[in-house]
Chains A and B, each alone.
Chain A
Amino acid sequence: MLTHIRPAVMMVVVMTVLTGLAYPLAMTGIAQALFPDQANGSLVIQGGHVVGSRLIGQDFTAAKYFHGRPSATSAPDPNDASKTVAAPYNAANSSGSNLGPTSKALVDRVSADIARLRADNPEAVRAVMPIPGDLVTASGSGLDPDISPAAALFQVPRIARVRGLPEAEVRALVERLAKGALFGLYGEPRVNVLALNLALDHAAGG
């Protein structure tokens, strides 16, 4: 037994230095040199300010912006640290809803979201567009940066009305920014919500 103690302890020490310090620090150095944009979070910078990350969704609620998916993230309650309050797209505490398929809370939440979507998008309702599944279900991370093209097209008439743009122009924007599968195989059709909204603001700002 005693003969095992030295290798056991020293192996932990040596491997901590190798795999716990040398490896991650070397990777940090190489990553910062080769891929500084990605290594620092794929940030979007406008006018010297960080407005977010291309990979992290934001909580869009204004009618003039495309909205992302429901987000189940939370934050500590400022009044009682032992409780949490809803805080959509809290990128400091990623989380899904973890509601099961027979959960009443899930059905109530989705029903409320469907009612809100119908009220906000009367043109889509008149055009009998179905409610896209991803637009009423919470993502796994609570930070999903994407929506399906169907979910974007559902919102096009609203955006066009609020911004006073022709519908065709907004639809063309969605089609331009939509991404398909890599090599036609890997990945689902999607469109990045922050990219869409940046493009809308850019068009509006001239």
Chain B
Amino acid sequence: MTVNGWAQIALYSALIVALTRPLGGYLTRVMQGERTFLTPVLRPLERAVYAVCGVDERAEQGWAGYAVGMLAFKAACFLALYLLLRVQDLLPFNPAGQAAVGPDLAYNTAVSFLTNTNWQSYGGETTMSNLVQMAGLTVQNFLSAAAGIAIAVAFVRGFARRSASSIGNYWVDLTRLTLYVLLPVSILVALFFVWQGVPQTLGGFIDATTLQGAHQSIAIGPVASQEAIKMLGTNGGGFFNANSAHPFENPTALANLVQMLCIFSLGAALTNMFGRMVGQEKQGWAVFAAMGLLFLVGTAVLYNAESQANPALVAAGMDPAMGNMEGKEVRFGIAASALFATITTDASCGAVNAMHDSFMPLGGMVPMVNIMLGEIIYGGVGSGLYGFLLFAIIAVFVAGLMVGRTPEYLGKKIEAREVKMTMLAVLCLPLVILGFTALAVVLPVGTGALANAGPHGFSEALYAYTSAAGNNGSAFAGLSANVPFWNTTLGIAMMVGRFFVIIPALAIAGSLAAKKTVPASSGTFPTDGGLFAGLVIGVILIVGGLTFFPALALGPVVEHLAMHAGTLF
């Protein structure tokens, strides 16, 4: 670890703190339908969208209506993307002549992009036409991000409203988030990326003759426009197979910094929007602080692990000074690779600028743990906030049990219905992760896809289902997942991980919105301070630890011990 490395991490953290309040204020105004500086330009477009779609923007929905709208929309997204993938060979903007995508991969990819997972069983430059990258994948990058934030906003309205029967209008939330937040920021970020060297062209390949006279075919395309929303919407699906490690996706250290800022900025700003909407910004900062602490601990562990050189390679004669450079790019080095890996798995982004499969055992464990904890550290856009607030509900419930009072959070009584729904959401993640991993490692069709032997191979399977269920999308990418067994089971894991959290969350929002607000008294547990933040962190770590420690012990922990004992597989 170096002073420069820590300075990079410190500056990044300071920039996120600085962005949180202004962006949170803007999000609040947009989501409450207030006027912003973009209103004169975008309001006519917004009205046109409602007119074409037959949406009455003043009609609000109850939680069930909101949930059904979300599901109907996701079904339409699935059909549109699935169909586009299946017939891409017949459509224009296919300069590289990519073939139609097979049914299991098209299903997996469609589910993956509409659930904001962006797991990729394929390599982008060898599979997808420019039309699919733009009109299929980029569109879902926008819509799945907007959909995620919409759910978080609806959830916060549950706390903010009193004796209300509605939690917002799904179509209005979706439209406003896309038009006022995601699209304008993406335009700026995309142009910045082009300036830094990210291509933006409709061409497919460039033929070069290298200095040594060899032929090099260089894949290219409309990369920058997809790259911007890929990061901002915590989607993470790369234009190229190597994702943000590819020099065309992430050409410079400065581009890398902006990519990392994009991943966290909206998730962090949502904590501030939450505070503003419930009337006390401090409530938002307590959430922000708890997330921030978990982020810094993860970064420190990962950075420390990757700063060590692999002892087997040092024994073979390699200089240990640079640390573990396998799978990393020279322009990012250890610090910016470790920071990126922490951020991308704290959030549900899943973009990678270094190959997690080649991390040191404990270095590779940090991304896995981040996802297993529920990606509640700023998190995916929207899903991070509602995921964290579910843990906050458990925390106040536990605190209530300790002192024998009915738990309250932000003046709302937390009762049996809320706690049951929360547990349903919290338990679905371990069920699919551990269940499918167990299945994959006993079936030949499962183990046949593993690239590495020994405990690292087990980690590849565990990481895959963790990433899918957590809607992350990063991978221990040696896994050859593009076979029907993996495509199918991963697709199921992605859907369960998305919708079995969203639907209970909306149900909680509906039931909280209907409640009266209890005035705070001397017996109320304060939820805007360090005690609360510490208690939520404790709950998150205990739930995650009890559930996943045995599986982690079989993978990264055993591998760490084996590596230091000099065992190779």
**B is a partner of A:** yes
A residues lining the B interface (CB < 8 Å)? 1, 4-12, 14-16, 18-21, 23-28, 30-32, 34-35, 38-43, 49-62, 65, 69, 89-104, 106-107, 110-111, 114, 118, 130-134, 136-148, 150, 181-182, 185-188, 190, 194, 197-198, 201
Having A28-B222, A187-B332, one finds 15 other A-B pairs with CB under 8 Å, namely A12-B73, A19-B178, A24-B134, A28-B200, A31-B224, A58-B216, A65-B212, A98-B357, A101-B361, A106-B310, A137-B325, A143-B242, A148-B322, A182-B252, A198-B211
Q: How far is the CB of B5 from chain A (nearest CB, A)?
A: 10
The interface residues of chain A lying within 8 Å CB-to-CB of B325 are 133-134, 137
Which residue in chain A gives the minimum CB-CB distance to B126? Answer: A93
The interface residues of chain A lying within 8 Å CB-to-CB of B139 are 12, 15-16, 19-20
Which residue in chain A gives the minimum CB-CB distance to B569? Answer: A102
B73 adjacent to A8 (CB under 8 Å)? yes
CA–CA, A198 to B175, complex, Å? 51
B residues lining the A interface (CB < 8 Å)? 4, 7-8, 11, 49, 52-55, 68-69, 72-73, 75-77, 80, 123, 125-126, 134-136, 138-139, 142-143, 171, 174-175, 178, 183, 186-187, 190-191, 194-203, 205-212, 214, 216-220, 222, 224-226, 229, 240-242, 245-248, 251-254, 256-257, 309-310, 312-313, 316-333, 336, 352-355, 357-361, 364, 451-456, 459, 476-478, 559, 562-563, 567-569
- Kindly name the residue among A69, A110, A144 whose own CB sees the greatest number of chain B CB atoms within 10 A: A144
- The contact sample of 18 A-B pairs, CB cut-off 8 A, is A11-B49, A11-B73, A12-B80, A15-B142, A32-B201, A34-B195, A38-B194, A38-B195, A50-B207, A52-B211, A55-B251, A57-B247, A96-B326, A100-B476, A141-B247, A182-B254, A188-B253, A201-B211
A133 adjacent to B320 (CB under 8 Å)? yes
The interface residues of chain A lying within 8 Å CB-to-CB of B143 are 12, 15, 19
B451 adjacent to A98 (CB under 8 Å)? yes
B72 adjacent to A40 (CB under 8 Å)? no
B197 adjacent to A55 (CB under 8 Å)? yes
The interface residues of chain A lying within 8 Å CB-to-CB of B200 are 27-28, 31-32, 39
The interface residues of chain A lying within 8 Å CB-to-CB of B8 are 185-186
Give the 8 A-B CB pairs with smallest separation, nearest first: A187-B253, A140-B245, A98-B478, A130-B319, A133-B322, A188-B333, A100-B456, A94-B242
Which residue in chain B gives the minimum CB-CB distance to A7? Answer: B53
Q: How far is the CB of B134 from chain A (nearest CB, A)?
A: 4
The interface residues of chain B lying within 8 Å CB-to-CB of A139 are 245, 327-330
Q: Which of A18, A62, A94, A133 contacts B321 (CB 8 A)?
A: A133
Q: How far is the CB of B319 from chain A (nearest CB, A)?
A: 3
Q: Do A114 and B206 contact each other (CB < 8 Å), given the known contacts A34-B194, A96-B357, A185-B4?
A: no
The interface residues of chain A lying within 8 Å CB-to-CB of B218 are 41, 52-53, 56, 91-92
The interface residues of chain B lying within 8 Å CB-to-CB of A10 are 52-54
Q: Which of A23, A102, A137 contacts B559 (CB 8 A)?
A: A102
Q: Which of A99, A101, A110 contacts B478 (CB 8 A)?
A: A99
The interface residues of chain A lying within 8 Å CB-to-CB of B252 are 182, 187
Which residue in chain A gives the minimum CB-CB distance to B459? Answer: A100
A61 adjacent to B212 (CB under 8 Å)? yes
B197 adjacent to A38 (CB under 8 Å)? yes
Q: Do A15 and B212 contact each other (CB < 8 Å), given the known contacts A40-B203, A41-B199, A100-B559?
A: no
Q: How far is the CB of A177 from chain B (nearest CB, A)?
A: 14
Q: How far is the CB of B413 from chain A (nearest CB, A)?
A: 32
The interface residues of chain B lying within 8 Å CB-to-CB of A28 are 200-202, 222, 225
The interface residues of chain B lying within 8 Å CB-to-CB of A95 are 123, 241-242, 477
Q: Do A35 and B195 contact each other (CB < 8 Å), given the known contacts A15-B143, A94-B241?
A: yes
The interface residues of chain A lying within 8 Å CB-to-CB of B205 are 92
Q: Do A114 and B318 contact each other (CB < 8 Å), given the known contacts A31-B224, A39-B199, A101-B358?
A: yes
